[in-house]
Amino acid sequence: MRLRTLTALTGALALSLVTGCAKGGSTGASANTVTYWLWDANQLPAYQACAKGFEKENPGLRVKITQLGWSDYWTKLTAGFIAGTQPDVFTDHIQKFGQFADLKVLEPVDDLGIKDSDYQPGLAASWIGQDGHRYGAPKDWDTVALFYNEKMAQEAGLAADELNDLSWNPKDGGTFEKTIAHLTVDRNGKRGDEPGFDKNNVKVYGLATQGGGFGDGQTQWSPFTGSAGWSYTDKARWGTNYQYGSKTFQSVIKWYFGLAKKGYMAPFSDYNIQSNQGNTQIAAGKAAAVFDGAWMISTYTGFKGKDIKTALAPVGPTGKRATMMNGLADSISKGSKNKEDARKWVAYLASDACQTVVGKYGVVFPATPAGTEAAVAAYKKKGIDVSAFTDPVADKKNFRTFSYPITNYAADVTALMQPEMEAIYGQGKPVSSLEETNDQINLILGQ
């Protein structure tokens, strides 16, 4: 019943979106105005600067930028596709791409001359649909690393070199678990690895909670499943079979959430997707470390009274470190009435002319090598070492980078996996339950 309902809803949404696009048109646009949406307020100034450069190179054209918060962004964008009020161009996320491509709400951009070699490895290829057409121009990229409170680490007797030389395994957690345990302190001042430690009365957790991780675990468990050699699906892109039921995945998840049972990681009850994520726990001094993405560098380094540093993800059973490498893109709405000018704007966004400007703001890593170099230089000027994020991209021998799972029915996968992962984390549900959930997901993908 649940599966049929999810499939029916997806089908209904597809029909509504296609019908909506037939009505066509982006509101707020005119013949010489391109509407552009993004969700990150920290990036808004950089793209306003790009818009000025674009307008200077294209007299008579104007870019109207709208910034919305993450949740509102996707809700209004989806509603816009249905009502015909979508923007001409928008920042697209690889997690959403599969479903958008399947629903045919994206305009092909094959004619922009996007080449893989012009961008960081793998970024351009991720935006090719199952039909062979390109639907996004590379925008920026991010990886995941360990943010930690340097003062807490020093008080625990841990040096930066030690934190960058950790390893883990699903049996005993390796030196990573030992370190997280040592960073944990209970209300009586006992550390997690000391006799008498009270796991039910913890003052500072070694690792902050980032929640259950939905179905991708980007800033939760993905560095561990990745370094254990596990992959989300049977193919790198457009896989037809998820692998959440594998013994490797289950062993990693059991160990990872087991850190909370031991008192080393904050419990699921401490997590709130709106207000109390890992960064707020670090800011409040309630946790010593957390895995998070490169897009959060400015947030962590901006905490007053806190000296936050970063360390590499630990080496896993495969002998490599691993991190998800996500890459955003700029896409054109199929319902846009101003596609010619939208193409000009997207081409400009993907060029060094814009990407070096974005890089100089030191907020994200732009997709082109020149843009990335500009960002690294900007961070260095601020006194911020970003090597924990850039090393995985440059060193393929010792690091494994992997993408979000690019498949159809991404929303359905999330709808099934989110409550499942939260139940395992927060309620102690057996990881073996993932086998049934995985079967349900693959049944949907096989429709």
pLDDT in tens, 363-420: 999 999 999 999 999 999 999 999 999 999 999 999 999 999 999 898 899 999 999 9
Say how many CA atoms lie within 13 Å of 105 toward its Cβ.
33
Please report the pLDDT score of residue 446 as a whole number.
85
Burial class from Cβ neighbours inside 10 Å (0-12, 13-18, 19+) for residue 171 reads exposed
Please report the pLDDT score of residue 102 as a whole number.
84
Amino acid at 291: F
The pair of three-digit structure tokens given for residue 419, joined into one six-digit string: 């409550």
Please report the pLDDT score of residue 69 as a whole number.
94
Spatial separation of the C-alpha atoms in residues 123 and 226, rounded to whole Å: 18
With a cut of 90, say whether residue 21 has pLDDT above it: no
DSSP class of residue 263 equals T
What's the whole-number average pLDDT of the chain?
92
Please report the pLDDT score of residue 31 as a whole number.
55
Please report the pLDDT score of residue 187 as a whole number.
98
Please report the pLDDT score of residue 3 as a whole number.
33
Q: What is the pLDDT of residues 296-320, one digit of tens each?
A: 999 999 999 999 999 999 999 999 9
Q: What is the pLDDT of residues 340-351, one digit of tens each?
A: 999 999 999 999
Q: Is the dihedral of CA 237, 243, 247, 250 positive or negative?
A: positive
With a cut of 70, say whether residue 168 has pLDDT above it: yes
What is the value of pTM for the model shown? 0.91
Ordered by where they begin, the domains of the chain are 2-141+328-386 (3.40.190.10), 144-324+409-445 (3.40.190.10)
What confidence category does residue 10 fall into, taking pLDDT thresholds of 50, 70 and 90?
A: very low
**How many other CB atoms sit within 10 Å of the CB of residue 425?**
26
Please report the pLDDT score of residue 122 as a whole number.
92
Worst-scoring range by mean pLDDT, 29-33, 142-146, 228-232, 413-417?
Answer: 29-33
Cα(first)–Cα(last) distance of the chain, in Å?
15
